[in-house]
């Protein structure tokens, strides 16, 4: 019973951490989209291009942070072997073929 409680608690922690991680990715995507939209402006000039580069740099840094955070989540809160792993398609019934 204690093991089930611990597993439930760990999965709740993992779920919360994944939710926060998704927010990091969403923020990085928003910065990236904003930067790309600058390139589509008809009044694009050198200063605006520098702003684009700065925004892309911030977006890239945030993407790296989100990936590092996701790796940390997977290390600290691994999915128990009896739980489906949605990142590997197990939750939707995708099967990998043996090579």
Residue 29 is assigned to a structural domain of this protein? yes
- In this structure, are residues 62 and 35 in contact, taking their beta carbons and an 8 Å threshold? no
Residue 43 is assigned to a structural domain of this protein? yes
Residue 67 is assigned to a structural domain of this protein? yes
**How many independent structural domains does the chain possess?**
1
Boundaries of domain holding 12: 2-79
pLDDT at 12: 93
Residue 63 is assigned to a structural domain of this protein? yes
Q: Which parts of the chain sit beneath pLDDT 70?
A: 1-5, 82-99
Residue 56 is assigned to a structural domain of this protein? yes
Phi then psi for 63, rounded to 5 degrees?
-60, -45
Residue 86 is assigned to a structural domain of this protein? no
pLDDT at 4: 67
pLDDT at 67: 98
Can you tell me the distance from the alpha carbon of 23 to that of 65, in angstroms, rounded to the nearest whole number?
12
- In this structure, are residues 62 and 27 in contact, taking their beta carbons and an 8 Å threshold? yes
Residue 90 is assigned to a structural domain of this protein? no
pLDDT at 96: 43
- In this structure, are residues 52 and 39 in contact, taking their beta carbons and an 8 Å threshold? yes
User: In this predicted model, what pLDDT tens digit does every residue of 49-71 receive, in sequence order?
Assistant: 999 999 999 999 999 999 999 99
> DSSP assignment of the chain, as one string?
-HHHHHHHHHHHHHHHHHHHHHHHHHHHHHHHHHHHHHHT-TT--HHHHHHHHHHHHHHHHHHHHHHHHHHHHHHHSPPPTTS--GGGTGGGT--PPP-
Residue 74 is assigned to a structural domain of this protein? yes
């Amino acid at each position: 019973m204690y093991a089930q409680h611990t597993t439930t608690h760990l999965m709740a922690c993992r779920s919360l951490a994944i939710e926060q991680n998704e927010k990091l990715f969403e923020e990085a995507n928003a910065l990236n989209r904003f930067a790309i939209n600058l390139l589509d402006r008809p009044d694009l000039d050198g200063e605006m291009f520098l702003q684009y580069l700065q925004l892309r740099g911030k977006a890239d840094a945030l993407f790296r942070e989100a990936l590092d955070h996701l790796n940390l989540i997977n290390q600290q809160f691994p999915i128990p072997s009896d739980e489906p792993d949605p990142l590997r398609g197990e939750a939707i019934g995708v099967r990998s073929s043996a090579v």
